[in-house]
Amino acid sequence: MRKLTKISNYKEILMLFYCLLAGFVSQSQVTITGIVSGEKGVGLGDMNIVSSSGNGSITDTKGKFSITLPNTGSYIITVSGIGFKSSSKTIITNGKNETLNFTITKDALSMDEVVVIGSSLTQTRKQLGNTVNSVSGKSLANSGSGNLSAALQGKVPGAQITQTSGDPAGSISVRMRGTGSIQGSTEPLYVIDGVVISNATTNVTNLNVNAGSLSEIGTNRMADINPNDIEKIDVIPGASASAIYGSRASNGVVLITTKRGKAGQLKIDFSTSVISNSLRKKVYISTYGKQLGTAGLRLGNISNANTSPTPYTGNTIVYTRPDGAVRTLATSDVNVTRYDYQDDIFQTGVGTDNYLSLSGGTEKTKYFLSGGYYFNEGIIKNTDFKRINLKSRIEQTVNKYLTIIGGVAYSNSFSNERPNGNVFWSPINSVNITNNIFNIKERDAAGNLKGVEPTRVNPLSVIEDMQLSQAVNRTISDIQIKIKPTKGLNIDYILGIDNFSQEGRNYIKRPAYATGFQGTGYVGNALVNTQLVNNDINVSYNANIKKITTLTSIGFNHQLQKITGVNTDGTDLLNGITTINAATASTINTRYTDDSRQIFGGYLQETFGYNNIFYLTIAGRIDGSTSFPEDTRTYFYPKVSTSINISDMHFWEKQSFSKWFNSARLRASYGKAGNLSGISTYGRFSNFNSGNINGVATYNLDPNLGNSAIEPEIASEFEIGTDLSFLDNKIGITFTAYNKKIVGNSLLVLRNLAPSSGGTGRFENVGNLTNKGWELGLNITPVSNKNFNWNVNGSLSRNKNLITASSQVSPIFLNNALGANSFTIIAGESVGAFFGNYFKRDASGNIAVDAVGRPIAETVGTSTTLATKVIGNPNPDWIASISNSFEYKKLSFSFLLDGAFGQDVFNADRRTRQGVGFGDYAERETKGELPRGYIFSIYATEEWRVEKGSYLKLREVSLSYKLPNVAKFIKSTSLTFTGRNLISWDTYDGYDPETNAGGNSAALRGIDFGNVPIPRTFQATLKATF
C-alpha cells in the first residue's frame, strides 16, 4: 500500500477539502467584529448575524462574532436568535475594520423570530395570522431518544405525540389538533430544508399479521432522520396556515431546518453517548401455586371442568351467564408451580449514539458534513435498531443574483424485531396467553425448546426462533436554486428526491412441538422501493411603499410518488434455510404492488402589512391528486389571515400599563384544504384480483368496489389567538382557539355496502368531522442573571373530536387485530370510539352483581343478546406539558413533565391474563376471594377491558455540566446525564397507557394488545466542540 506521507495530519486533509469546496474568492473587504450581549451584559452564543450584503455569521459561546463586508457602502446588520428580539444597526464601511456591539432583549414570544412557512419562504412570526411553534435543535439534543418524533414529545403545544410501541424501531404518531381524517393520513407533512419527505409506515416485517386495513404497524420512516443534524423545527399545526403546501399540509406541517455551515473556520462537533433501556414496570402475574380443576385443565377459571384431559372428580358449580353461556366450573384446586415469564423475555438493552459534524466555509461557500452511528437495544431480548447517517450540504453564493444549494443525506437503518403485538406469537402476547405452569427453559434431547400447552407457543421460541429484520437504505437529496433578479424579487426552485428501499425478512422456524401458531414455520421476504420526487418553484416579490409593505408570492409544487414492492411468503419449511427458499412451493404466495400517484398544486398569496402593526394575507390555491377521478381531481382552496400588533401602535407606549404589559397581538386565520391521501391509489376502480386454487390460476372480484365519483375531503379551519407578554418580557402567553372541520359531507371512509349490491365496501364521502379546541402556551423566566437562569415552559391544550354526520347507517366497525367489533365510526361520537357490551348498573350506579357477587352483563330486554353501546373514547380531552430548566454557571438541570388526560384504553391483555389463569383477578378467584365464575362473568363483556388511560410522565430529566477546557483547540466540552420516561403517574392496569396496537392508524387508537412497553431510558453524553 502506498502511504500518503505528504498529507500527514487531519488539519491538512480538512484544509484540502475546504479549498476544494470553497474555490477561491478574492475581493477587498473589511471585517466587522463585535459582541452580542443580553440584558445583564452576558455574551450570547449561537446568535445569527446577517448583513444586507448577503453575508452572515454566528456568535461563539462568548457572544463574539466577525463578519466581512464589501469595502465601501451602507449595510444593515441584523442580529437574531431564538428567544430574543432581533436588533438591526446600519454601518457605513470605509475600508477600515470596525467594531459593532449589540445588546438584545429577551422575547418571550419570539415575535421577531424568522420562521419557515414553506419551501424557502420565511416570515417573522408577527406577520403571521396563524400559530407557528418552534423547537430548537438544542432542546431535542438532550431528550434521551434517538428518534426525532419522540424527542418532540411535550414540546409542541396542541400536538399529541404518542410512542405507540416500545420497540426500538417502534412507531411514533403525531396528531395536530386531533384526528382530522379516518381513511387518510393524520400525520403532519414533514419537510426537511424545503424537501417533502416520506414518513410512511410501510410494513415489510410481520407480513403474516393482519391487524386490519386501517392499522399502520411498524416503523414510521422519520426514524431514519438523525436528531443531531437538526437546527430548528417549525411546526404549523393547522390547515389554514400553509398555502405553500396546501392540501398535503391538512394535518399540519413540520418544517425541519438542518444545521448548516457558517462562515468562519472549521467547526467540529462531536458527541458520544451510552444508553441503557429497561422495563419501567412489570404487570402483575400471579405465582400463586394453585390451579382450579386439574393441572391439565386449560383456562381453568372459565372452562368446563369436564374438558380436563384427566378426569376431574371434585365439586362443581353450574353458572349460566346472562348471554346464555353455561359453565360447569371446578371448585377445588390442585398444586402447580407458576413462573413469571416476563423475566425470560425482558432484558436491559444498551446502546450508543455517536455523532461528528464538520462545518464552516467562507462568505460565499458554506459546507456542513456530518456522520452518525446510533445503536440501541430493546427491552425485549434480541431486538435492536441501528442507524448510520451521512449528510453533506453545500451552499454556494455565485454572485449577488444567484445562490445554489445542494445536499445529500444518506441513512442506513437496520432493525432486529420480534413478531408484532397483534398476534399471539409475539413476545408479550405469548406470555399473556400461555398458562404459566410450564418451565419454558426446558429442552428436549436435541436441544429444542419444549412446547407449552396445546396450540400455544413457548415464549422463548419467540425470542430464539422467530427472526424478523428490516434494512432500509435511504437517500434524501436536493438541489436548490435561489435567484434574485432585482431587488425584492426572489425566485426559488427546489428539486428534492427522497428515495429508499426497505428489505424485510421474516423467519419463524418450524417448531419442534405442535402449536397452532405458525406450526409448520413461516418465511416471508419483502422488498419495497419508495421514491418521492418533488419539484417546488416559488416566486416572491417584496415591495414597500412608505408604511405599506407587500409580499406577493406565487408558486407551484409537483410530487411524483412511486412505491413498488414485492412480498413473498410461504410455510411448511425445510430446515436449514431461513429465506423463502425454505417454503414448500404450493404454499408460496407472491404479491407485487405498484402505488403510483402525482400530487400537484399552485397558489397565489398576497400579504399586506401596515407599519409593522397590521398584516393581512389572502391566498388561493388549487390542488389535485391523480388518485381521484379526473372530474373531481382539482379543487380551489381559499385562505385569509390577519395579525394585529396592538402594542406596536402609538397609543400603547403612552399607557402606564405598558411598563409591565409589554406586548399584545391578535391574530385570526381561516383556510380550506383538501386531504389528498384519503383513498388508496386505485380506490376509484373496481378490479379482479389474481390468485390460485390448488395451483390453478384464478380471478376473484375485489369486494371493495371502485367509486368513480369519489371526491377529496374538504377541510376548513378557523383559528383565532393572541400573544401577550408581561414584566419585561419575562412572561409570555400565547393562546389559540380553533375549529377544524371536514365539511360538505366529504369525510371519506371505506364504507360497507350491502352484499346484495354486488360488493362489500367502497370508498365514499359520507359525513362531517370536527375538532374543536384551544391551546395555551406559557413561557416564564422567573430568574435571569449572569450566574443563574430559570426558565419555565408550559402548554395546555384541549380538543374535542366528533363525527357530526354520517350517511352510513352507523356504526361502521373498524377491522382490527382483536377481531372485535369494538372500534367504530359513529355519528355523534369521536373517531375510533370503543363500542361493546357493558354491565348492568344498580340503583346507585354501581355495577350490578348477582347473588354471589358476580357482575351482570346487560342484555337486550329479557333476551340473552348482550346490549351494546359506546363504552370508551381513545381521544384525550387534555394534553399538557411543563418543563423547567435551570442554569447555574456551568451546571444546568431541566425536567419535562408531559401528559395526556381523559382518554380510554382498550386493554385486551388484562382480560386475557384472567382467562388464562394468572391475572390478579384469576388469583383472587382461585383463592376464593372472588366468587367462583367471576372471571367467566366478565369475560364476554367488553366494558371490562376499557380502562382510564390518563397519564402524566416524567418524560425527560437532564443534568449537564460544561467541563473546564483541557486543551486550546477544544472550544467547549460538556457532560450530560439524561433520563427518559422515568416515571408515569397513571392508574392503568397494564404496562403503559401510552400505547397503540394500531400503530399510526388514524382511527384505531388506544388499543393495548401485546404491545411492547415504552422503556425507561438513561443516557450519558459527552459533547465536544473543536
Partner 1 sequence: MKRRIKYISYTISLIVTIVALSSCKKEYVNPSAASIPTVTSNVDALMNLCAGLQNRYTIGRQSPLYNTVTGGAYSVFAVKTLVSSNVAEFELEIGKGSISQGNSIVSQLWTQNMLTRTEAETVLENLSVASDATDKVGLKAYASIFYALSMGTLTQYFVQIPLVKENNATFSPRIAALEKAIAVLESVDADLATTSPSSKFLSKIPAGIDIKNTVKALLARYYNVHSMITGTYNAASGNKAIGYASAVSLTVKSEFRFTVGTPNPIGNINFLGTVYGALDSSLGLKNGLAPIPAATDPRIGYYISKVGSNYPFKAFAQGQTSVYPVYLPSEMTLIIAENQARQNNFGPAKTALDAVRTKTTDIYLIGASQPAYSGPLSSTDLLTDIYKQRRIELYLCGQELEDSRRFGRPAPNAVGEERNRNFYPYPLIERNNNTNTPADPII
Q: Which of residues 711-770 bind partner 1 (CB under 8 A)?
A: 752-760
> Between vectors from CA 588 to CA 513 and to CA 582, what angle results, nearest 5°?
55
Closest CB 698 distance from partner 1, rounded Å:
4
CB nearer to partner 1: pick between 106 and 456: 456
Instruction: Tell me the C-alpha distance between 520 and 582, whole Å.
Output: 11
The 3-class secondary structure across 246-287, one letter per residue, is HHHHCCCEEEEEECCCCCEEEEEEEEEEEEEEECCCCCCCCC
Closest CB 709 distance from partner 1, rounded Å:
13
Cβ pair 989, 944 in contact under 8 A: no
Under the binding rule (CB under 8 A), the answer on residue 27 touching partner 1 is no
Under the binding rule (CB under 8 A), the answer on residue 821 touching partner 1 is yes
Longest dimension (CA), the chain: 107
Under the binding rule (CB under 8 A), the answer on residue 828 touching partner 1 is no
Peptide bond into 237 cis (omega under 30): no
CB nearer to partner 1: pick between 289 and 485: 485
Residues of span 408-467 touching partner 1 by CB under 8 A: 454-455
Closest CB 968 distance from partner 1, rounded Å:
44
Cβ pair 526, 502 in contact under 8 A: yes
Under the binding rule (CB under 8 A), the answer on residue 630 touching partner 1 is yes
CB nearer to partner 1: pick between 355 and 838: 838
CB nearer to partner 1: pick between 808 and 1025: 808
> Between vectors from CA 731 to CA 728 and to CA 737, what angle results, nearest 5°?
135
Beta strand pairing call for 84-94 and 761-784:
unpaired
Residue 20 in 3-state DSSP?
A: helix
Under the binding rule (CB under 8 A), the answer on residue 693 touching partner 1 is yes
CB nearer to partner 1: pick between 72 and 584: 584
Cβ pair 480, 494 in contact under 8 A: yes
Contact residue for partner 1 among 325, 356, 390, 727 (CB under 8 A): 325
Residues of span 183-242 touching partner 1 by CB under 8 A: none
Closest CB 519 distance from partner 1, rounded Å:
8
CB nearer to partner 1: pick between 531 and 626: 626
Closest CB 622 distance from partner 1, rounded Å:
10
Instruction: Tell me the C-alpha distance between 639 and 224, whole Å.
Output: 34
Burial classification of residue 902, based on how many CB atoms lie within 10 Å of its CB (0-12 exposed, 13-18 middle, 19 or more buried): middle
Burial classification of residue 20, based on how many CB atoms lie within 10 Å of its CB (0-12 exposed, 13-18 middle, 19 or more buried): exposed
Residues 6+ apart with CB under 8 A from 392: 367, 368, 369, 370, 407, 408, 409
CB nearer to partner 1: pick between 245 and 374: 245
Cα(first)–Cα(last) distance of the chain, in Å?
32
Beta strand pairing call for 1007-1008 and 904-907:
parallel
Contact residue for partner 1 among 626, 739, 784, 972 (CB under 8 A): 626
Under the binding rule (CB under 8 A), the answer on residue 74 touching partner 1 is no
Residues of span 864-883 touching partner 1 by CB under 8 A: 864-866
885: phi then psi, degrees, rounded to nearest 5: -130, 140
Contact residue for partner 1 among 220, 308, 430, 960 (CB under 8 A): 308
The count of residues interacting with partner 1 (CB under 8 A) is: 91
Under the binding rule (CB under 8 A), the answer on residue 692 touching partner 1 is yes
Cβ pair 988, 951 in contact under 8 A: yes
Instruction: Tell me the C-alpha distance between 182 and 751, whole Å.
Output: 11
Kindly indicate which of the ranges 65-73, 133-141, 146-154, 863-871 contains the residues binding partner 1, using the contact rule CB under 8 A.
863-871
> Between vectors from CA 599 to CA 597 and to CA 600, what angle results, nearest 5°?
145
CB nearer to partner 1: pick between 339 and 493: 493
Residues of span 896-915 touching partner 1 by CB under 8 A: 915
Closest CB 646 distance from partner 1, rounded Å:
40
Kindly indicate which of the ranges 85-93, 273-281, 302-310, 711-719 contains the residues binding partner 1, using the contact rule CB under 8 A.
302-310
CB nearer to partner 1: pick between 97 and 698: 698
CB nearer to partner 1: pick between 413 and 461: 461
Cβ pair 391, 229 in contact under 8 A: yes
> Between vectors from CA 33 to CA 31 and to CA 38, what angle results, nearest 5°?
155
Nearest to 231 by CA among 158, 114, 126, 139: 139
Contact residue for partner 1 among 31, 700, 846, 987 (CB under 8 A): 700
Closest CB 768 distance from partner 1, rounded Å:
19
Residue 961 in 3-state DSSP?
A: strand
Dig out the grid coordinates for 943 from the structure.
366494558
Residues of span 933-962 touching partner 1 by CB under 8 A: 939-940
Closest CB 695 distance from partner 1, rounded Å:
7
Under the binding rule (CB under 8 A), the answer on residue 527 touching partner 1 is no
Contact residue for partner 1 among 808, 972, 974, 1025 (CB under 8 A): 808
Residues of span 156-185 touching partner 1 by CB under 8 A: none
Helix ranges restricted to H, 142-269: 148-151
Scored b (16 or more CB within 10 A) or e, 612-643 reads ebbbebebbbbbbbbbbeeeebbbebebebbb
Instruction: Tell me the C-alpha distance between 168 and 189, whole Å.
Output: 23
Residues of span 528-587 touching partner 1 by CB under 8 A: 535, 537, 556, 558, 560, 571-572, 584, 586-587
Residue 849 in 3-state DSSP?
A: strand
Under the binding rule (CB under 8 A), the answer on residue 685 touching partner 1 is yes
Cβ pair 978, 1018 in contact under 8 A: yes
Under the binding rule (CB under 8 A), the answer on residue 516 touching partner 1 is yes
Residues of span 370-399 touching partner 1 by CB under 8 A: 399
Contact residue for partner 1 among 1, 4, 446, 809 (CB under 8 A): 809
CB nearer to partner 1: pick between 709 and 783: 709
Contact residue for partner 1 among 697, 843, 966, 967 (CB under 8 A): 697
Cβ pair 282, 381 in contact under 8 A: no
Closest CB 323 distance from partner 1, rounded Å:
6
Kindly indicate which of the ranges 128-136, 260-268, 443-451, 805-813 contains the residues binding partner 1, using the contact rule CB under 8 A.
805-813
Cβ pair 793, 779 in contact under 8 A: yes
Cα atoms in the 13 Å half-sphere on the side-chain side of 22 = 22
CB nearer to partner 1: pick between 20 and 693: 693
Kindly indicate which of the ranges 14-22, 82-90, 376-384, 679-687 contains the residues binding partner 1, using the contact rule CB under 8 A.
679-687
Under the binding rule (CB under 8 A), the answer on residue 303 touching partner 1 is yes
Closest CB 757 distance from partner 1, rounded Å:
5
DSSP assignment string, 1007-1022: EESSPPPPPEEEEEEE
Closest CB 165 distance from partner 1, rounded Å:
24
Kindly indicate which of the ranges 387-395, 522-530, 700-708, 984-992 contains the residues binding partner 1, using the contact rule CB under 8 A.
700-708
CB nearer to partner 1: pick between 560 and 727: 560
Under the binding rule (CB under 8 A), the answer on residue 691 touching partner 1 is yes
Contact residue for partner 1 among 381, 450, 510, 633 (CB under 8 A): 633
Under the binding rule (CB under 8 A), the answer on residue 401 touching partner 1 is yes
Residue 299 in 3-state DSSP?
A: coil
| Binding-site string for partner 1 from residue 584 to residue 623, where x marks contact by CB under 8 A and - marks none | x-xxxx-xxxx-xxx-x-x---------------------
Cβ pair 163, 376 in contact under 8 A: no
Residues of span 461-500 touching partner 1 by CB under 8 A: 481, 483, 485, 491, 493
